[in-house]
């Protein structure tokens, strides 16, 4: 059975190319066709463009895959936002109702 590129990944296609199951022209035209599909993301287009450029440079199968998935043009990661500071614990939360009443009575005395 002849190798078909339909539904195959870049790696699968390049493995088949290295094994002599598919011709260079088929690989190249498949990558161009996939790159030029409408509605594909920028990452998709960039991946196939890098793969085509690698083929143009005469890279072997593993180099094509590595170059296709290289992230040289990836934007730098954004700094993570700091977690909001935790509010200080309420010092009265561990007291009983009677103790809170005593503290509040003391506060009223101090305020005068």
The tens digit of pLDDT for each residue in 48-83 reads 999 999 999 888 878 888 888 887 555 555 666 677
Longest dimension (CA), the chain: 97
13 CB burial (10 A radius; 0-12, 13-18, 19+)? buried
Cα(26)–Cα(9) distance, rounded to whole angstroms?
14
Q: Are 70 and 50 in contact (CB under 8 A)?
A: yes
Question: Does residue 39 sit in helix, strand or coil?
Answer: coil
Least confident span in 16-25, 72-81, 98-107: 72-81
């Amino acid at each position: 059975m002849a190798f078909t590129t339909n539904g195959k990944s870049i790696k699968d296609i390049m493995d088949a190319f290295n094994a002599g199951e598919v011709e260079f022209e088929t690989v190249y035209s498949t990558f161009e066709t996939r790159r030029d599909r409408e509605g594909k993301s920028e990452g998709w287009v960039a991946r196939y463009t890098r793969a085509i450029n690698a083929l143009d440079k005469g890279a072997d199968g593993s180099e094509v895959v590595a170059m296709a998935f290289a992230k040289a043009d990836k934007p730098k990661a954004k700094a993570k936002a700091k977690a909001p500071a935790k509010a200080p614990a309420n010092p009265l939360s561990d007291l009983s109702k009677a103790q809170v009443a005593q503290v509040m009575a003391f506060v009223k005395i101090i305020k005068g």
